[in-house]
Amino acid sequence: MTDGTNTPSKIKYHFHDIAARIIQNIRSETESEAHQILRSYPGNENPTDASQNAAKIYGISTQSSTGVIYVMDRATERGFTYGNPEWANFGQGAPEVGHIDGCMDKPTEIAIDHSSLEYAPTSGIKPLREAVARLYNDLYRQEKESQYTWENVCIVPGGRAGLTRVASVIGDIVVGHFLPEYTAYEQMLGIFKRFVPIPTVLEEEAKYHIDPQTVKKEIIGRGLGLIVASNPRNPVGQVIEGEELKEMVEIARKRHTTLVMDEFYSAYIYSHPSEQNGRTVSISEFVDDVDHDPVVIIDGMTKNMRLPGWRVCWVVGPKSVITSLESSGSFLDGGANHPLQKAAIPLIEPSKYRNEAKYLQQHFRAKRDFVLKNLKEIGFNIKVPPEATFYIWLDVSELPEPINNGLAFFEECLKEKVILVPGIFFDVNPAHRRELFESPCHHFVRLSFGPEQKELEKGLAGIKRVVDKFKNEKK
Ligand SMILES: Cc1ncc(COP(=O)(O)O)c(C=O)c1O
């Protein structure tokens, strides 16, 4: 099934095909300054290059920089500071947090009562757990007999803490995931050595679609015990919904494979343009029995409520899973902060949540259309426009050399004070097995249209300058 390095041979050949296609004009990592800068960061050394031995502290293993950290470090070296109006930050995957017409204005002051000076339980305070259960039942499960209760909810200090708690309780099994995928999955899938992560590459030609029948084949062929995936998907902006999502649950139930669905962008949906009612997407709609169906959901206040700074998120799933997560929280992170858990309760009242999603979608749909239109005018060919999230997975392979790969384009954009994320960071690669030039994500960057309109305009102007400069040089 694997070639001994946990790399399924089928996938390896696939990478080589892609490499052959994109390497044509390019030589190798060693000839690209942008790639050498990346390789010079501790933890990012090329595993095949013995000369790259960074100074190490005995007993401490060096983690590679997660994509966003590397990106922000490089931007800071080029003069970026948070709040600097000269820069456009299309790198950090954060939604704008200010006023949006129709959305609620978030509290800027909260009362802290005496009881919230105490520790909160590591699974969260009961009233918030109840509020989350109510939200899912109301949005997705009104007709169902089996309903979520507070015991199906664990409050966690942020989405990544939720993912890490889940990863920490996964047993000795094979775990499937998809490429490209959210950058933090790299560390999350690599740090706990009990399970073996196996990637499935999603194809551009198939619009990065997760096909339930392929999932079934992967489960049977590779013996997957669990699958973890973002849906809607970061960075490609696609979404599985409706009948296909239902089919996924049926397959999981039948095959005893647990689905861990990261639904952080569940409110950023544009796939049905005629709908203006703020429809959100969650796999919970297709769960029959909340305590027996093997479905675990992660979401929170970070994106859908546009409160990334609060660090109040949740995991929803069978009671037995929640009990395990409660235990792992007691040594991993100690739980979400107490006062903001209380403050979150009124914000996720179902009717308020629906209204928020409705206006959020209108606002972000307009921004998406604006950015896509501008990128086309600059000369990009966007084959797979986003139907969800606030990301554009931008293919730079048709740009002139040397900016026809994600890392080099990223470095040039920094010079124009625009921050993007090079695509290779979404090639979740827990064991660092591959050459960067062989990655299927190598000729992409991720562009976030999370920032405000004014910042979008500034950043697009910067991208245009970069592209024009290299087009003119070529003439
Ligand atoms: C798919 C996905 N899951 C989880 C998260 C993490 O959210 P948090 O910032 O709450 O840790 C993000 C953030 O970018 C994300 O894109």
pLDDT tens figures, 293-311: 999 999 999 999 999 999 9
CA distances from 337 to 14, 122, 290 (A): 45, 10, 27
For ligand 1, atom 8, name the residue with the nearest CA. 159
Q: Residue 56 contacts by C-beta under 8 Å, 6 or more apart in sequence?
A: 62
User: What pLDDT is stored for residue 444 in this prediction?
Assistant: 96
Q: Residue 96 contacts by C-beta under 8 Å, 6 or more apart in sequence?
A: 306, 450, 451, 452
Nearest-atom number in ligand 1 for the CA of 311 is 10
For ligand 1, atom 2, name the residue with the nearest CA. 264
Nearest-atom number in ligand 1 for the CA of 302 is 10
| Through-space distance between the first and last CA atoms of the chain, rounded to whole angstroms | 50
Is the C-beta atom of 333 inside 6 A of ligand 1?
Answer: no
For ligand 1, atom 14, name the residue with the nearest CA. 93
Is the C-beta atom of 160 inside 6 A of ligand 1?
Answer: yes
Which residues on neighbouring strands pair with residue 392, listed in sequence order?
447
Alpha-carbon torsion angle 447, 17, 10, 30, nearest 10: -70
Interval between CA 53 and ligand 1 midpoint (Å): 32
Is the C-beta atom of 93 inside 6 A of ligand 1?
Answer: yes
What residues of the chain score a pLDDT lower than 70? 1-27, 46-56, 62-66, 430-434, 474-475
For ligand 1, atom 13, name the residue with the nearest CA. 93
For ligand 1, atom 4, name the residue with the nearest CA. 159
Is the C-beta atom of 182 inside 6 A of ligand 1?
Answer: yes
Which one of 164, 208, 234, 393 would you pick to mutate in the ligand 1 pocket, going by the greatest count of ligand atoms within 8 A of its CB? 234
- Reduced to 3 states, what is the DSSP secondary structure of residue 178? strand
* Lookup: tokens for 275: 């709908």
Is the C-beta atom of 313 inside 6 A of ligand 1?
Answer: yes
Is the C-beta atom of 237 inside 6 A of ligand 1?
Answer: no
User: What pLDDT is stored for residue 193 in this prediction?
Assistant: 84
Contact 371, 447 (CB under 8 A): yes
Interval between CA 470 and ligand 1 midpoint (Å): 34
> pLDDT (tens digit, 9 = 90+) per residue, 156-196?
999 999 999 999 999 999 999 999 999 888 788 888 889 99
Interval between CA 51 and ligand 1 midpoint (Å): 35
Place of tokens 């990106």: 71
Is the C-beta atom of 91 inside 6 A of ligand 1?
Answer: no
The pTM assigned to this predicted structure is 0.90
Distance between CA atoms of residues 273 and 276, nearest Å: 7
For ligand 1, atom 5, name the residue with the nearest CA. 159
Kindly report the backbone phi and psi dihedral angles of residue 266, in degrees, each rounded to the nearest multiple of 5, phi listed first: -60, -20
Residues, the chain, total?
475
Is the C-beta atom of 158 inside 6 A of ligand 1?
Answer: yes
Burial 102-118 (b: 16+ CB within 10 A, else e): ebbebeeeeeeeeebee
Interval between CA 145 and ligand 1 midpoint (Å): 31
Q: Residue 226 contacts by C-beta under 8 Å, 6 or more apart in sequence?
A: 170, 173, 175, 176, 195, 257, 258, 259, 260
User: What pLDDT is stored for residue 22 in this prediction?
Assistant: 43
Is the C-beta atom of 302 inside 6 A of ligand 1?
Answer: yes
Q: Computed from CA positions of residues 354, 360, 361, 363, in that sequence, does the dihedral angle turn out positive or negative?
A: positive
